[in-house]
Structure 1
Amino acid sequence: MVGDGAWEFVDDRGRRTGAPERPERIVGYARSAATLWDFGLRPCGLFGSQHDGARPDPVKTGAIPPGEVAYFGSGGSLDETALREARPQLVVGVVYDDDALYGLPAETARRLESDLPTVALRVGGGRSLPAILDRFRDLAVALGADPAAAPPAAAPERLTAAESTLQQAARDHPGLRILALSGDGGDSVHLARPDAWPDLRHLADQGADLLDPGAGAGKSWRSTDWDAAVELRPDVILHDVRGNASGAAELDSIPQWRQLLDGAHGRTVAWNPEAPCSPGAYADFLEAVATGING
């Protein structure tokens, strides 16, 4: 923020974005828009990634009521004309290990960043979860969110309490092994590498025992067959619930998934790798993991 009514913000790429006044019409990547919503702000539009479809993934859009915020499409199918017609004063995206806006083709991102004020916050494995949450809070405050009147989803006390709950569960049940995965049909599954995911690392920081899926191609995932997942013999399973992952009906049709459930005595937890970056969203997740550990 700068004086005389002007506004500016330095994003996680070190890029300074300015405007004559604080932006009010904001378009964001689904995860970003959902985060701002949790802080009491109201984006005017959102877009998805190459993994999304013609409708927004409700898992990624969090507490935003269906149809409440305009959806401009996803990835290479983004409707740039509709997005521009919404007259956004700011576009909020995310970046992972490089500086490219996630979820958009490079040329699309280049056009948007050339024409519209844009900020991007880093959510990749190199960042801790607390650092990610702090940066989204910084942005929300810069955009007018009032920490003193924060909605429950933005209250840091909820996350602190959930951390204590998870720590106690881990102490009460030492040695329970947790596997995070994303189903990809009956023939393959993606097993998460805990060090590549800030939320999984945060579970480990609270004392939870995350399974490493072992050697194989892939930085964030080990992409393999379901038999490899069964061989790891997890006690608790975190399963990706985004729209691009195998859903409940498909999972139930996979024999190895049923084997995993039997071995874990049914202890499964819904996992959203792109949850809103708000304390409340992650408090919900940590509480669910604690419940899974407690059985």
Structure 2
Amino acid sequence: MPKSRAAHLSRRGVLAAGGVLGLGAVLAACGDGDTKKDSGNGSADNAKKGPWTFKDDRGTTVSTKAVPKNIVAFTGTAAALHDFGVPVKGVFGPTKLPDGKPDVQAGSLDISKVEILGNVWGEFNVEKYAALRPEVLITNMWIKDQLWFVPDESKDKILKLAPSVALWAADTTIPKVIQRHAELAESLGADPKAKNVADAKARFEKAAARLRSAAKANPGLKVLIGSGSADLFYVSAAKPGADTRYFQELGLTFVEPKVNAQGFFEELSWENVGKYKADIIMLDNRTGTLQANDLKGKPTWNQLPAVKAGQVIPRVTEPIFSYDKCAPILEDLAAAVEKAKKVS
């Protein structure tokens, strides 16, 4: 599970929390979506007619009278749909940094052209959502039936406004998740044979082969998946993450922590951060987590063999599940493994 949110989960014990604004008269305004064409990246066939049906990863079959055009999605999911050629009207989740630049999870989205309904954990503006006249809401799942970044306290009101689609992001692998996003995008009018998609897929497959070869050539390396906060260091298990499970399938060996009851990670105090030895540390790269430069003030961090060897690399903890965005992740990891030395 993503660590910047996992810190909240460990304290709250739930996947979503936060305040909610009353719907008031805005609820009555919800109706059929605007049919104005949005060009996106040019691949989606916005003239495609309905009815539309899609079976999501909850096993829920979602149906509408026409192919949805007013789409609202979790930011990372919206970014993946964009790469496949499907535009969205609104997003929720980390989208804009304090300086106005796009968050890493926004990918290639033009964040000036989408309505941002919530930018932080627990934030979702229900009135703005209703005003978009949404036809479908799309997000990920890390735990069954828990819709990522849809706050528990307002989810009933949110889910009354439009049907929802949820795609697995845990306990699976990157290729499988990408394929599901591709299937969803195609159902929404995207061209599965578009050149940009085909080229990105070929790059992804080449990068996967490179990582497999690098892992085979360096069988003794051990990788630790970590995320830093002021008080705790989180060490993740590999299997729950679609990215790290796939890296494991490609041959990498990961530290296996004693995970908590939620099954995703182990919390370590900074005094105990050296509990596990590793040659490479993959460090959560998202906004809200401490990065390698931020951790220089932690003496125990500086004593870790991987840190001393300069073998700390970013982990894209919440990947954008498109071939275009996942190929560079594989390439960068392969390069790191190729040049890494055994230090633990």
Q: Same fold (TM over 0.5)?
A: yes
- Deviation per CA, 1:180-211, whole angstroms, max 9, x where unpaired? 101011x3111011122121111011111111
Distance 2:222 2:308 in 1: 9
8 Å CA contact 1:192–1:221 kept in 2: the answer is yes
Distance 2:114 2:165 in 1: 20
In the alignment, what sits opposite 2:214? 169
The change in CA–CA distance for 1:224 and 1:21 in structure 2 (over 3 A counts) is same
The alpha-carbon deviation at position 101 of structure 1 amounts to 1.2
- Deviation per CA, 1:236-282, whole angstroms, max 9, x where unpaired? 11000111211344222222222236556112221122111112222
Distance 1:149 1:69 in 2: 24
Quick one: which of 217, 228, 251 aligns to 1:183?
Answer: 228
In the alignment, what sits opposite 1:95? 141
Distance 1:150 1:40 in 2: 11
In the alignment, what sits opposite 1:197? 241
In the alignment, what sits opposite 1:26? 71
The answer for unaligned runs of 5 or more in structure 2 is 1-47, 340-344
In the alignment, what sits opposite 1:266? 310
Q: Does 1:113 align with 2:159?
A: yes
Question: Which stretch of structure 1 is more off in the superposition, 70-79 or 272-281?
Answer: 70-79
The change in CA–CA distance for 1:154 and 1:141 in structure 2 (over 3 A counts) is farther
8 Å CA contact 1:44–1:69 kept in 2: the answer is yes
The alpha-carbon deviation at position 119 of structure 1 amounts to 0.9
8 Å CA contact 1:191–1:229 kept in 2: the answer is no
- Code of the aligned partner of 1:108: S
8 Å CA contact 1:239–1:268 kept in 2: the answer is yes
8 Å CA contact 2:301–2:307 kept in 1: the answer is no
Q: Helix, strand or coil: the match of 1:159? A: helix
Quick one: which of 244, 257, 275 aligns to 1:213?
Answer: 257
In the alignment, what sits opposite 1:131? 176
Quick one: which of 240, 256, 266 aligns to 2:284?
Answer: 240
The change in CA–CA distance for 1:22 and 1:123 in structure 2 (over 3 A counts) is same
Distance 2:206 2:127 in 1: 44
- Code of the aligned partner of 2:244: L
The alpha-carbon deviation at position 153 of structure 1 amounts to 8.5
- Code of the aligned partner of 1:95: M
The alpha-carbon deviation at position 231 of structure 1 amounts to 3.4
Quick one: which of 50, 55, 59 aligns to 1:5?
Answer: 50
8 Å CA contact 2:170–2:242 kept in 1: the answer is yes
The change in CA–CA distance for 1:36 and 1:222 in structure 2 (over 3 A counts) is same
TM-score between both structures, scaled by the size of structure 2: 0.77
Question: Which stretch of structure 1 is more off in the superposition, 175-184 or 248-257?
Answer: 248-257
Q: Does 1:253 align with 2:300?
A: no
The change in CA–CA distance for 1:120 and 1:30 in structure 2 (over 3 A counts) is same
The alpha-carbon deviation at position 150 of structure 1 amounts to 4.7
Q: Percent identity?
A: 28
The change in CA–CA distance for 1:45 and 1:150 in structure 2 (over 3 A counts) is farther
In the alignment, what sits opposite 1:76? 122
- Over alpha carbons, which structure has the higher Rg? 2
Q: Helix, strand or coil: the match of 2:113? A: coil
Q: Helix, strand or coil: the match of 1:67? A: helix
The change in CA–CA distance for 1:130 and 1:176 in structure 2 (over 3 A counts) is same
Question: Which stretch of structure 1 is more off in the superposition, 262-271 or 4-13?
Answer: 262-271
Would you say how many aligned residue pairs link Structure 1 and Structure 2? 290
Distance 1:115 1:217 in 2: 34
The change in CA–CA distance for 1:37 and 1:10 in structure 2 (over 3 A counts) is same
Q: Does 1:291 align with 2:335?
A: yes
Distance 1:70 1:209 in 2: 41
The change in CA–CA distance for 1:215 and 1:5 in structure 2 (over 3 A counts) is closer
Distance 1:136 1:260 in 2: 38
In the alignment, what sits opposite 2:62? 17
- Code of the aligned partner of 2:265: W
Q: Helix, strand or coil: the match of 1:101? A: coil
Distance 2:311 2:111 in 1: 30
- Code of the aligned partner of 1:119: V
Q: Helix, strand or coil: the match of 2:58? A: coil
Q: Helix, strand or coil: the match of 2:224? A: strand
8 Å CA contact 1:39–1:154 kept in 2: the answer is no
8 Å CA contact 2:302–2:308 kept in 1: the answer is no
